[in-house]
Structure 1
Amino acid sequence: MTKIKICGLMTLDDIRAVNTAKPDLAGFIFAGGRHHLELDQALKMRQALDPAIPSVGVFVNAPINEMLKTYRSGAISMIQLHGSEEEGTVTTLQKNNIPIINVFKPNQLNPDTKADYIMLDSGTGNGKPVDWTKLQITTDKPLIIAGALDINNIKQAIKTTKPTIVDLSRGVETEGIKDPQKIIDIVKLVHSI
């Protein structure tokens, strides 16, 4: 069964929707932009989140101390590196027993990363779709795919790439706000594939 991560959660309403839908992972963004959270917000949301759903902190070229502080606070249980972080950052964080997702653009995949998971994304969370049919993906690590996924293209993306996890944020929003029904529908669909 393919797993699913709902990312870019911003409110307690988002958490309620996720608790109802039961995705496999929930994502909090600490990297600026529209979905950015401060640590105190993330802590409140983590407390309201179903304890069975691990939370992932998304960072872009953040200082290691900031990532460690966020992890140690209990707000997150995994870290997603979405910038141009060096492998040394991956191994330093792993020494603290933190599972790491390393994100690459399709043409810059590093299958030799020490990260626990590899994510392929079209860019910087800009909603740009990826043509999954043109990718040659070779990795022995669990693969996560992201990039303008939604209810209309998720089946094809999963069939083409056979990922371990799919990651959605904007694809479950309506007018920039997480849509509970879209979250429920896509989690059910992905878990059925």
Structure 2
Amino acid sequence: MTKIKICGLFRPEDMGFVNEARPDYIGFVFANSRRRVNPETAAVLRRLLNPGIKVVGVFVDAPIEIPISLTRGGIIDLVQLHGNEDETYIRALKQKLSEISIRDALQETAGSSDLPEAVNCFPVIKAIRVERPEDITAMQGSAADYLLLDNGSGGTGKTFDWSLVLQAGTAGNENKKPFFLAGGLNPGNVEDAVKTLSPYAVDVSSGVETDGLKDQSKIIDIVARVRQSMRQM
């Protein structure tokens, strides 16, 4: 079932919008952007969020200690890398995230000899710019848990050629790395995206904005459209 992420939230009222719409994920941007939030603001916004909604932290070539600190502080649940982070960086990040998970699991099972099987509970998403099918196939061996397929730098509001995903053989293929689909998604095209590509999740930002700010009616509309599309499949 395709999930939905609303990215680029930075105001208290944005939390109210998503609490009503109930997407699966929301995103805080910690990189250079007009939607950027600092850790202190993100912590305040997180406390306003329905606990059933997961928070993705978006970073661009950040020192590894920054996403680790935000994860350890309970501000984010997933790390999205939108820069030139290589596999060495991704593997090192995942190792540190797993250490957080193992420590938390040990605390939760204090006095017990049983450890939860799944201790790596902080997934990593690696964003890639899709210009040809090989951009996707080359990343199938990545240590990242998910890919994010986009037109380029985040927030361009432009789609890329979706046929490239079909050519790469990743659309709806359970044997391939699951992916978030981003780039120019809005209430007018998101249903087609879900039906055509069967992504793990769709990632929307500018497509649910009016005059540069998140629009409550658009957020509610697009979440409803994704959920309706899944019921029809």
Normalising by structure 1, we get a TM-score of 0.96
Point out the structure with max Rg over C-alpha. Answer: 2
Normalising by structure 2, we get a TM-score of 0.80
- Asked if 1:127 is matched to 2:163, the reply is no
Relative to 1, partners in 2 of residues 1:151 and 1:129: Cα closer, same or farther, differing over 3 Å?
same
Residue-pair matches, total: 193
Relative to 1, partners in 2 of residues 1:54 and 1:153: Cα closer, same or farther, differing over 3 Å?
same
Task: Map 1:75-154; keep pairs closer than 5 Å.
Answer: 75-95=75-95, 96-97=97-98, 98-107=122-131, 108-109=135-136, 110-125=139-154, 126-135=156-165, 136-139=167-170, 140-154=176-190
Distance in 1, matches of 2:64 and 2:164, equals 35
Distance in 1, matches of 2:169 and 2:94, equals 23
- Greater relative CO (CA pairs within 8 A, separation 6+): 1
Q: Please tell me the residue identity of whatever aligns with 1:121.
A: D
Segment of structure 1 superposing worse, 72-81 or 133-142: 133-142
Segments of 5+ residues of structure 2 without an aligned counterpart are 99-121, 171-175
Contact map agreement 1:90 1:115 (CA 8 A) in 2:
yes
Q: Please tell me the residue identity of whatever aligns with 2:125.
A: I
Distance in 2, matches of 1:18 and 1:45, equals 12
Segments of 5+ residues of structure 1 without an aligned counterpart are none
Segment of structure 1 superposing worse, 105-114 or 18-27: 105-114
- Report the aligned-residue RMSD: 1.2
Equivalent residue of 2:168, what SS? coil
Segment of structure 1 superposing worse, 55-64 or 111-120: 111-120
Displacement of 1:133 after TM fit? 2.6
